[in-house]
């Protein structure tokens, strides 16, 4: 008993399984997480070490180098890189994807612990943590309240930030636009000299009088008694009373005698605001921004939902509080994710509808259409069971695979139902037609499904990062196809046997005038609908069938010409490979983007703010812009950095695309901004590439000046490459740095300790944080430094004093000299060697492959130029970013194609117990690329990640058409027909299901190819290449199989004869007997 027989004899059992699959599938689908892309955990570990006051080179030598050396011996380490900048070292370890992130984290922690003593004493404790390499804020929330700055910050920190941090999945929240309360002790240098004391002495005195000290505990009788000295500052004025020393050994000198103590706020390092439009006017609102970062494995949509709920709770809780605080979510990456998910769902729904309409036109029966269409919900919903069990998520990639599979999933049901329908039209009863029709095509259905699985299975096991992302793509299609073939071999015959009316039974006659009238009306409506749809289409299809029968006869008489013509068409299409540009990722349109702004390294916050206002005025003047969120400065205290998030109005309310708006902004800002300002218009950070620029070139060498000279030379030439925009390097000439060079000999002669002297100088400029001031349960730093107008020690260098080991004042100029240097603001290293990165974006229509060729030509000319020999000495370079991934993609796709072809052959050879039959079927595989390449060329598309996957998918489609045709030719030959007779009849009989499956597949892909929304353009190229490939492969397969089948069959017989075997195999005899029995 086969599956068809079981389903016909036990329909209740099959129906129960169907219901169970749908219920479980829906239940699991509801439990799955929703993401933009598949959940890939990258084994990245970051070591952050703060060394206050140290410059980039000192950070590199004393911190970053030591961390790199310690981590380099860890197994599985792929790359190690570091960024050394003022006051902080960040070292990143990238491990092989096979490395367990938790193990990698622990091994890095162990290595850092081993070298902890080798670091300078005054570093902060190293922070070691797993990170997302594309870490970025996933949400921004604004807080508006009518409060003083220090009240606003405390309120935001205590009542909002800490509440938001409780949301599961949030790793950190950085507040921009606010500043914390701080007690500042501004010391007068002249008073220090007058009272013969130092800043260090002031700091130590404040520190030594700032704490409650536990004294101990004793037992007194039956009681246990604790003792504590209470020394904390109760008021700010208490700090003024702290004694620093005794002047002349008699007069106490207090802090208030040498300094001014103020309860104020910290120096402002950030600004935040929102630009809105109301009644045609731009409103600029200053605000405090919460920038939310997620944990590496956290789900953005879940976090967004939880944060939105928490925001509503907090707004309700503090409604009417002092200052009328109000939280507003202004940016949310989950919005783009939801838009993309909704767009893919829409393409699936529309694709299903179009595929069902195609089936109705071909079968001309609502019953047959219903039976066939049921394969779609069964397979799609059933696939979620396996997706859930394999810990997949609902994301753009997995849903896109289902949208592509719509046509494939219905194909099996089409083939089965069409064959059952043919037997039914020949007069057989529904149950007999269902059994015979299914049995006749069972092998073909299994073979076609197996060939598709053989194509997609390798895609699910590609290597590297590409493989991690496309694992869900390939395996989701495999899951859905497995269910579809079971549906085709069970549900389709079962429903056909019981829903289709018997030839023996007459239709029941309705009694009563009303019922008779309703019947006539419904019959009339049905006739009109059929006349407008299937009647004319059936006549048209019959003409195509008759025409194709004539074509086959011509082909049989002109086999060589047909084969040569097909080969010529294929050969002429191959040069298109060289004319179609290559890229890694297609252009994405999301209705939002970010503008990163970088002013000169020495720019103040006010200077950067002025530049941002200039940019904001330009973008807010555009009618396509809805609002902008501006964040100036960052948590590394870089005042020359800003980020502007731009949201456009909905795509149906504007004429320009996102890329067109970005192009206009670039052109306008290029004319108005100072040349020293570096801007970059980047995606919002929710796409596959995250916030990384697509073009990246890394130049390696030991000498930063040499690297900078090469980078500047290359950028000047790269700017002439069409399509390469927003060019910049990560190298910035340093802010002016004054170095106080202490002469070791002179310091020894005067008894000056260089470390003590350095600490005193640091206190003058940066200040010390010797203690905290506690009030109302909160702690605030007490900062000790010179008065604001005395901190520029370059003007007063000759009047500065430091103390020697005998506490005697020594003029600083007697032991040190002052000199000005300019080094890099940041030092970048990769695999323990310095590098400079040149990065850039691509303008609309530009492709990465073309850009890479142009840059490679410039690099070659520069390196081979004899005048540049010294410049390029000991310099190497490599591409990074999407260029590197594009190269890996090409290798992965080649592997996938090779494995797909091998797997298809193995599957077909196993099913047909033949080597020649699979070759006959696979002879048409190269034809898959013809239409795809032509479609890409005509639509000015590019060979990217998605189009290449589409080309691989075409291999399975071509194989399906060939199998349907070749399988039936063999069946007819077993029934006694000659080769030519079998080819003609098989072509005529199988043309309908071949056209039906091809049209259904094309219809299912049509919404993707049309890109029904702006976000849909990201996937458009895949739909175009698949539809083009379907058209060409269907036509060429219908031509080449009739032409080549006789040759391949003759070759099969010849090889058996040469091997001394009989013409008929044992399995052929068994199948021939079955065919005679069926007849």
Asked if residue 662 is part of any domain, the answer here is no
pLDDT at 260: 92
Asked if residue 56 is part of any domain, the answer here is yes
Distance CA 569, CA 929 (A): 11
Residue-range definition of the domain harbouring residue 473: 1-31+364-502
Angle at 388 between CA 384 and CA 394, to 5 degrees: 70
Helix (H) / strand (E) element for 289: namely strand 288-294
Asked if residue 407 is part of any domain, the answer here is yes
pLDDT at 186: 92
Whether residues 120 and 12 fall in one domain:
no
Asked if residue 796 is part of any domain, the answer here is yes
Token pair 């829409």 in the structure block, residue: 346
CB 186 within 8 A of CB 258: no
Domain boundary among 821, 854, 874: 821
Tell me the CA distances in angstroms from 874 to 18, 268, 657, 714, 715, one per residue in order.
68, 44, 45, 17, 20
Whether residues 382 and 496 fall in one domain:
yes
Distance CA 526, CA 536 (A): 14
Whether residues 16 and 111 fall in one domain:
no
Asked if residue 968 is part of any domain, the answer here is no
Rg (C-alpha) for the chain, rounded Å, is 38
pLDDT at 688: 46
Phi first, then psi: what are they for 303, rounded to 5°?
A: -60, -45
Residue 791: CATH number of its domain:
3.30.2090.10
For the CA atoms of 652, 655, 660, 662, what is the dihedral angle to 10 degrees? -70
Residues in the chain, total: 1079
Task: List the beta strands (DSSP E) in 71-196.
Answer: 77-85, 88-95, 127-130, 137-144, 170-176, 181-187
Distance CA 819, CA 834 (A): 26
DSSP 8-state symbol, 582: B
Distance CA 36, CA 339 (A): 10
Angle at 935 between CA 931 and CA 936, to 5 degrees: 120
Residue 115: CATH number of its domain:
3.30.70.1430
Whether residues 485 and 376 fall in one domain:
yes
Asked if residue 463 is part of any domain, the answer here is yes
Asked if residue 213 is part of any domain, the answer here is yes
Distance CA 517, CA 511 (A): 10
From the list 740, 736, 714, 738, the residue with the least C-alpha distance to 727 is: 714
Tell me the CA distances in angstroms from 910 to 762, 903, 905, 913, one per residue in order.
79, 10, 8, 5
Distance CA 131, CA 126 (A): 15
Angle at 1001 between CA 999 and CA 1006, to 5 degrees: 90
Residue 17: CATH number of its domain:
1.20.1640.10
Whether residues 5 and 57 fall in one domain:
no
The alpha carbon of 925 is separated from its chain's Cα centroid by a whole number of angstroms, namely 32
Is residue 626 helix, strand or coil? strand
**727-745 burial string, b = 16+ CB within 10 Å, else e?**
bbbbbbebbeeeebebeee
Q: Copy the structure tokens of residue 926.
A: 């190269």
Parts of the chain with a pLDDT under 50 = 687-690
Whether residues 412 and 459 fall in one domain:
yes
Whether residues 488 and 419 fall in one domain:
yes
The alpha carbon of 407 is separated from its chain's Cα centroid by a whole number of angstroms, namely 27
Whether residues 452 and 383 fall in one domain:
yes
Whether residues 70 and 13 fall in one domain:
no
Domain boundary among 772, 794, 821: 821
pLDDT at 1069: 58
CB 87 within 8 A of CB 54: yes
Task: List the beta strands (DSSP E) in 612-651.
Answer: 625-632, 641-648
Angle at 816 between CA 814 and CA 822, to 5 degrees: 150
Asked if residue 229 is part of any domain, the answer here is yes
Distance CA 63, CA 97 (A): 27
Whether residues 202 and 102 fall in one domain:
no
How do strand 281-286 and strand 271-278 relate by DSSP bridges? antiparallel
Whether residues 497 and 410 fall in one domain:
yes
Distance CA 952, CA 897 (A): 6
Domain boundary among 477, 502, 527: 502
Q: Copy the structure tokens of residue 12.
A: 């209740």
Distance CA 365, CA 457 (A): 35
- Number of domains within the chain: 3
Whether residues 125 and 15 fall in one domain:
no
């Amino acid at each position: 008993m086969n599956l068809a027989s079981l389903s016909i004899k036990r329909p209740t059992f099959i129906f129960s399984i169907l219901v169970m699959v749908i219920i479980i599938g829906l239940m699991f689908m509801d439990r799955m997480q929703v993401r933009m892309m598949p959940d890939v955990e990258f084994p990245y570990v970051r070591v952050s070490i703060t060394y206050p006051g140290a410059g980039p080179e000192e950070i590199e030598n004393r911190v970053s180098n030591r961390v790199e050396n310690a981590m380099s011996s860890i197994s599985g380490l792929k790359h190690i890189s570091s960024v050394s900048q003022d006051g902080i070292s960040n070292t990143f370890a990238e491990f092989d994807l096979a490395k367990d992130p938790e193990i990698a984290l622990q091994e890095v922690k162990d290595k850092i612990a081993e070298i902890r003593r080798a670091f300078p004493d005054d570093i902060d404790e190293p922070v070691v943590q797993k990170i997302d390499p594309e870490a970025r804020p996933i949400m921004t929330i604004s807080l508006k309240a009518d409060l003083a700055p220090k009240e606003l910050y405390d309120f935001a920190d205590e009542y909002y930030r800490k509440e938001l941090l409780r949301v599961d999945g949030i790793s950190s929240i950085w507040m921009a636009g606010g500043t914390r309360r701080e007690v500042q002790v501004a010391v007068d240098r002249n008073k220090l000299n007058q009272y013969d004391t130092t800043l260090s002495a002031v700091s130590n005195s404040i520190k030594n009088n700032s704490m409650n000290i536990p004294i101990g505990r004793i037992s007194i009788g039956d009681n246990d008694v604790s003792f504590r000295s209470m020394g904390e500052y109760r008021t700010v004025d208490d700090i003024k009373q702290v004694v620093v020393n005794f002047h002349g050994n008699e007069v106490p000198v207090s802090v208030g005698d040498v300094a001014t103590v103020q309860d104020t706020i910290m120096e402002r390092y950030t600004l935040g605001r929102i630009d809105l439009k109301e009644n045609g006017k731009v409103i600029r609102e200053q605000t405090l921004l919460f920038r939310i970062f997620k944990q590496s494995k956290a789900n953005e949509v879940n976090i967004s939902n939880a944060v939105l709920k928490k925001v509503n709770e907090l707004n309700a809780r503090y409604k009417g509080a002092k200052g009328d605080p109000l939280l507003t979510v202004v940016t949310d990456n989950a919005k783009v994710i939801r838009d993309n998910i909704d767009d893919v769902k829409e393409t699936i729904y529309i694709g299903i509808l179009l595929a069902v309409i195609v089936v109705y036109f071909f079968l001309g029966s609502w019953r047959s259409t219903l039976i066939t269409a049921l394969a779609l919900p069964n397979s799609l919903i059933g696939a979620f069971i396996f997706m859930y069990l394999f810990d997949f998520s609902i994301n753009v990639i997995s849903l896109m695979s289902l949208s592509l599979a719509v046509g494939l999933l219905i194909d099996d049901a089409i083939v089965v139902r069409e064959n059952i329908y043919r037997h039914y039209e020949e007069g057989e009863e529904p149950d007999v037609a269902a059994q015979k029709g299914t049995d006749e095509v069972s092998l073909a259905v299994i073979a076609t499904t197996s060939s598709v699985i053989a194509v997609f299975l390798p895609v699910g096991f590609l290597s590297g990062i590409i493989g991690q992302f496309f694992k869900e793509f390939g395996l989701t299609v495999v899951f859905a196809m497995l269910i579809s073939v079971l549906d085709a071999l069970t549900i389709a015959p079962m429903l056909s046997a019981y829903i289709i009316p018997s030839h023996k039974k007459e239709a029941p006659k309705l009694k009563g005038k009303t019922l008779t009238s309703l019947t006539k009306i419904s019959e009339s409506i049905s006739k009109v609908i059929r006349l407008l749809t299937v009647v004319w289409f059936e006549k048209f299809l019959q003409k195509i069938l008759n025409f194709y029968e004539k074509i086959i006869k011509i082909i049989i008489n002109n086999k060589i010409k047909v084969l040569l013509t097909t080969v010529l068409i294929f050969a002429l299409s191959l040069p298109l490979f060289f004319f179609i540009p290559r890229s890694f990722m297609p252009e994405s349109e999301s209705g939002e983007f970010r503008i990163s702004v970088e002013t000169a390294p020495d720019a103040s916050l006010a200077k950067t703010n002025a530049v941002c206002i200039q940019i904001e005025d330009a973008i807010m003047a555009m009618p396509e812009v809805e609002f902008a969120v501006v964040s100036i400065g960052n948590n590394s205290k870089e005042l020359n950095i800003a980020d502007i998030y731009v949201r456009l109005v909905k795509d149906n309310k504007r004429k320009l695309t996102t890329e067109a708006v970005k192009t206009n902004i670039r052109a306008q800002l290029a004319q108005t901004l100072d040349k020293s300002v570096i801007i970059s218009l980047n995606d919002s950070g929710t796409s596959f590439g995250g916030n990384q620029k697509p073009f990246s070139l890394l130049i390696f060498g030991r000498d930063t000046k040499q690297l900078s000279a090469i980078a500047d030379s290359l950028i000047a030439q790269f700017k002439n490459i069409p399509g390469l925009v927003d060019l910049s390097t990560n190298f910035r000439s340093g802010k002016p740095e004054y170095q106080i060079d202490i002469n070791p000999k002179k310091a020894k002669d005067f008894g000056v300790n260089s470390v003590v002297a350095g600490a005193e100088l640091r206190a003058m400029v940066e200040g010390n944080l010797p203690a905290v001031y506690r009030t109302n349960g909160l702690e605030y730093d007490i900062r000790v430094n010179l008065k604001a107008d005395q901190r520029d020690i370059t003007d007063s260098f000759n009047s500065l004093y430091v103390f020697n080991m005998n506490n005697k004042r020594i003029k600083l100029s007697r032991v040190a000299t002052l000199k000005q240097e300019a080094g890099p603001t940041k030092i970048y290293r990769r695999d323990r060697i310095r590098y400079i990165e040149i990065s850039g974006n691509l303008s609309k229509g530009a492709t990465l492959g073309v850009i890479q060729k142009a840059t490679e030509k410039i690099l070659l000319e520069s390196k081979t130029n004899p005048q540049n020999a010294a410049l390029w000495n000991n310099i190497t370079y490599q591409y990074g970013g999407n260029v590197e991934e594009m190269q890996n993609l090409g290798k992965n796709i080649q592997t996938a194609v090779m494995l797909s072809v091998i797997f298809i052959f193995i599957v077909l050879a196993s099913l047909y117990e033949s080597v020649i039959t699979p070759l006959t079927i696979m002879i048409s595989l190269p034809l898959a690329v013809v239409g795809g390449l032509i479609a890409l060329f005509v639509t000015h598309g590019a060979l990217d990640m998605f189009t290449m996957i589409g080309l691989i998918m075409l291999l399975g489609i071509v194989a399906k058409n060939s199998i349907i045709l070749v399988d039936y030719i063999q069946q007819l030959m077993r029934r006694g027909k000659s080769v030519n007779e079998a080819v003609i009849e098989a072509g005529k009989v199988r043309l309908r299901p071949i056209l039906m499956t091809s049209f259904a597949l094309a219809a299912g892909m049509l919404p993707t190819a049309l890109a029904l929304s702006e976000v849909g353009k990201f996937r458009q190229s895949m739909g175009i290449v698949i539809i083009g490939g379907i058209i060409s492969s269907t036509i060429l397969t219908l031509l080449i199989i009739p032409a080549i089948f006789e040759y391949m069959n003759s070759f099969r017989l010849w090889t058996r004869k040469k091997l001394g075997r009989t013409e008929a195999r044992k399995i052929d005899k068994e199948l021939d007997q079955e065919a005679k029995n069926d007849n």
